[in-house]
Amino acid sequence: MNIAILGLGTVGTGACEAAARSEAIKVRWIFVRPGKKVALEYQDLITSDIDDIINDPEVDVVCECMGGETPAYEYVMAAMKHGKHVVTPNKGLVSAHYRELVDCARENGVALRFTSSAGGGIPWLFNLLRTKRCDTITRVWGILNGTCNYILDTMHREGSDFDQILKSAQDLGYAEKDPTADIEGIDTLRKCVISGDLAFDGDIDPDSVPAFGISTITAKDISWFKAKGYVCRLIMSASRSEDGVSAYVEPTLFRADSLEAGTGANNNLVSLEAEELGIQSFYGQGAGKAPTGSSVIQDVIDIATGTEMLPGGYYHLPAGSTPVDNSTCTHRYYIHISNDCQGFPFQIVAEQEEDKDGFYLITKPVPVSQAHSIAQEFRSNGSFFMAGIQE
């Protein structure tokens, strides 16, 4: 099977290397932006004209590894309209344009695969879809951002401040120069949307999913957690509700003997719960050149061999966006807020400590929607951090 790879960054290079290990796959083109320097071994495959790929009848699959929404969206839509299958690890693209991509694939009779867009090299979406074939999934959740997990795990082990560990993560290549998408939960939110879409046959609007990241966590928060026997991890969660889904991203406190607490460094751990199967968890490297690049090529091989993991409903989405309702999902929260917090609803508080740095609160069980509304209001007024508590 002939493929074209769009982009020769970390993932694109990993896909090229994985393709070279498969006798069934041949890289026919590599698209790069004009002026980009490429390794000598790829020179004969390079083009900066996307039409070379779109109009080549010998190209069976286009692997979009560029990242971002534009021009990736335009390129993959054009590829599918020209009868080419598409594989992409681009979580931003898939979460933002899920319906348009699925509709275009269906209308043109091509495959759209994106199992590397959440979990990287972990066979997460693959097994989620496999489970759906004969069971009903009720919930998905887990750690899906290696950058945040590295920062939180290191803070727990070393007791260092957030800014110091973020700098270390950047030096090691675990965090981008601009880490906003990771530390504010945006990357995890996109993976939450994709996982929820597939688990619940939905079309979740990313703007309807609240996300609270880890950028305001302090070493003192970590010290408090450790004293109480907790470990903090950034978690995405999506579950079925009566009229739609509950979906959110937030730091969460787990007991030290939990699987999530034991997931260290930049690893991922993601789980599903199904009515018959119960809970299944998947662990491993969630990003990087080799894991994600190999997952891209696994999707290509599935297309080549006719392996179809997607249930029939995948190509027939319900009308309109899937409603997100977090008002019926309730649990306790840890909240650290500055002493100057006029208007804070202390009536939700069950336990309270105070020092010169602020209040350390444990709430009664409150709806997720209320907690995120409080976070949105008080985070802008000063020091604020919150984490859900896994009971």
Model pLDDT, residue 313: 44
- Cα 56 to Cα 29: distance, rounded to the nearest angstrom: 10
Within a domain: residue 274? no
Could you tell me if 351 and 386 lie in one domain? yes
How does residue 93 score in pLDDT terms, banded at 50, 70 and 90? Answer: very high
Place of tokens 């879409």: 197
How does residue 307 score in pLDDT terms, banded at 50, 70 and 90? Answer: confident
What tokens appear for 56 in the block? 């080549």
Instruction: Summarize pLDDT for 290-300 with one digit per residue, the tens.
Output: 999 999 999 99
Could you tell me if 310 and 365 lie in one domain? no
Task: Judge whether residue 310 has pLDDT over 60.
Answer: no
Using an 8 Å Cβ cutoff, are 336 and 218 in contact?
A: yes
Task: Judge whether residue 171 has pLDDT over 60.
Answer: yes
Within a domain: residue 65? yes
How many distinct structural domains can be found in the chain? 2
Could you tell me if 294 and 378 lie in one domain? no
Task: Judge whether residue 311 has pLDDT over 50.
Answer: no
Half-sphere exposure of residue 11: CA atoms within 13 angstroms, side-chain side: 23
Could you tell me if 27 and 76 lie in one domain? yes
Is the entire prediction scored with pTM above 0.85?
yes
Could you tell me if 305 and 360 lie in one domain? no
How does residue 341 score in pLDDT terms, banded at 50, 70 and 90? Answer: confident
The separation between CA 383 and the C-alpha centre of its own chain, rounded to angstroms, equals: 27
Question: Regarding beta strands 112-113 and 349-355, do their DSSP bridges make them parallel or antiparallel, or are they unpaired?
Answer: unpaired
Within a domain: residue 181? no
Could you tell me if 50 and 71 lie in one domain? yes
Could you tell me if 104 and 69 lie in one domain? yes
Instruction: Summarize pLDDT for 108-144 with one digit per residue, the tens.
Output: 999 999 999 999 889 999 999 889 889 999 999 999 9
Within a domain: residue 104? yes
Adjacency order of strands within the sheet including 85-87: 46-47, 26-31, 2-6, 61-64, 85-87, 112-113
What tokens appear for 170 in the block? 């950047």
Domain boundary among 261, 280, 315: 315
Could you tell me if 296 and 387 lie in one domain? no
Question: Regarding beta strands 230-240 and 278-285, do their DSSP bridges make them parallel or antiparallel, or are they unpaired?
Answer: unpaired
Could you tell me if 301 and 332 lie in one domain? no
Per the prediction, the chain carries an average pLDDT of 93
Model pLDDT, residue 173: 82
Task: Judge whether residue 19 has pLDDT over 80.
Answer: yes
- The CA-atom distances, in angstroms, between 221 and each of 95, 230, 364, 366 are 32, 11, 19, 21
Model pLDDT, residue 210: 98
How does residue 314 score in pLDDT terms, banded at 50, 70 and 90? Answer: low
Q: What percent of the chain has pLDDT over 90?
A: 83
Look up 191 and say whether it is catalytic: yes
CATH number of the domain residue 57 falls in? 3.40.50.720
Model pLDDT, residue 288: 86
Within a domain: residue 208? no
Within a domain: residue 377? yes
Catalytic residue chosen out of the listed positions 84, 191, 356, 364: 191
User: 130: Cβ–Cβ under 8 A, 6 or more apart, which residues?
Assistant: 309
Model pLDDT, residue 18: 97
CATH number of the domain residue 339 falls in? 3.30.70.240
> For residues 232 and 174, which has the higher predicted lDDT (pLDDT)?
232
Domain of residue 303 covers 2-124+289-315
Amino acid at 246: S
Within a domain: residue 108? yes
Within a domain: residue 134? no
